[in-house]
Amino acid sequence: MNAGDNSFKTPSIVRRGDGEVRLVGFELEFTGLTLEQTVAALQTALGAQVISGSAAEKKLHVDSLGKFSVEVDWDYFKRQAAQQQGEEEDEWVQLLGQAAKLLVPMEVVCPPLPITSLTALDPMVVALRDAGAQGTEDSPIAAYGVHINPEIPSLDAAAIAAYLKAFSLLQWWLVERLQVDMTRRISPYIDLYPESYVRQLLSDPAPNLDRLFIDYLAYNPTRNRALDMLPLLMEIDGERVRRAVDDERIQARPTFHYRLPNSLIDRPDWSLAVPWNSWWVVEELACRPDDIERLSAAYLDAWRPLLGVSRHDWIETMEQWIQDSGLA
């Protein structure tokens, strides 16, 4: 996925089971701008109008697109700023806002857009870059990136299993292909699925919903996964997820939460199409059941006692599959 890969690829499955076009949400993190500068960039690029906010968060509305949220990604800062609402906010809140320009990532949360209309976000990325936004590479300590929330075509077990298996087979390849920043790799926020879970998942040719819940929550009781499935599982059975994971931040929605890509917003040849096109490969494998079956068998055959599966060799296997499938 080169930084210059700026055309959003359309997946084979565009519509949900009910015929409606699938939606996709993006969350973009970066540094280098204050809250006010970020809001100004969205106003310039999209004609956004501020509808509410604090010193740490602003809600904006864009005609034809919907509601955007711009926030300082610092939970404590946001709570304190909300408590200081009024005509005069404490001076320390303003000072922290300036410090956040250098130390704490800003986050723009975009509304869900039709999967066929993602280019509508291109002007926003250009405006933020022109204003001075800096990406993952600018900080040796900040593990921020791009989150993508694609709506699942169907909430049935077959669809969930297909996407889980596709991502599990591709996760090592994706890390290398995206050149995920080392700071982000060693952070706890985007851990890959453990190999023990991948083996369990791939060993069952047609897991039902109960099996999918049991195994996922046993091996992945955390939001900190490169592909976080907890929001989607919450959409199906929230009480079951809450019993396994005590985290109030998990919100139910019928989407995947893909957290792996870097934010390279400061690169002139980068757009949100770059991270999206990495997810597109997952989409394409997910709708090829014969390939999933064959690759799953190959992965299980490649497992070695104590050593597991050779990461290097498996990345080569997936690269060859991508080339042979015309997905490069």
How far apart are alpha carbons 162 and 142 in whole angstroms? 33
Looking at beta carbons, which pairs linking 74-82 to residues 24 or more positions away fall under 8 Å?
74/100, 74/104, 77/104, 78/54, 80/56, 81/54, 81/55, 81/56, 81/57, 82/54, 82/56, 82/57
pLDDT of residue 87 exceeding 50, the answer is no
Task: Give the per-residue SS3 of the chain.
Answer: CCCCCCCCCCCCCCECCCCCECEEEEEEEEECCCHHHHHHHHHHHHCCEEEEECCCEEEEEECCCEEEEEEECCHHHHHHHHHCCCCCCCHHHHHHHHHHHHHCCEEEECCCEECCCHHHHHHHHHHHHHHCCECHHHCCCCCCEEEEEEECCCCCHHHHHHHHHHHHHHHHHHHHHHCCCHHHHHCCCCECCCHHHHHHHHHCCCCCHHHHHHHHHHHCCCCCECEECHHHHHHHHHHHHHHHCCCCCCCCCCECEECCCECCCCCCCCCCHHHHHHHHHHHHHHCCHHHHHHHHHHHHHHCECCCECCHHHHHHHHHHHHHHCCCC
How far apart are alpha carbons 246 and 125 in whole angstroms? 35
pLDDT per position as a tens digit, 45-57: 999 999 998 888 9
Domains of the chain: 27-134 (3.30.310), 148-328 (no CATH)
> What is the pairing mode between strands 49-53 and 257-258?
unpaired
pLDDT of residue 6 exceeding 70, the answer is yes
pLDDT of residue 178 exceeding 90, the answer is yes
- The sign of the dihedral angle between the CA atoms of 280, 282, 285, 289 is negative
pLDDT per position as a tens digit, 233-266: 999 999 999 999 999 899 999 999 999 999 999 9
What mean pLDDT is predicted for residues 167-193?
91
pLDDT of residue 305 exceeding 80, the answer is yes
Query: Mean pLDDT in the chain?
Result: 91
| pLDDT of res. 273 | 98
pLDDT of residue 289 exceeding 60, the answer is yes
Residue 197's pLDDT band, with cuts at 50, 70 and 90, is very high
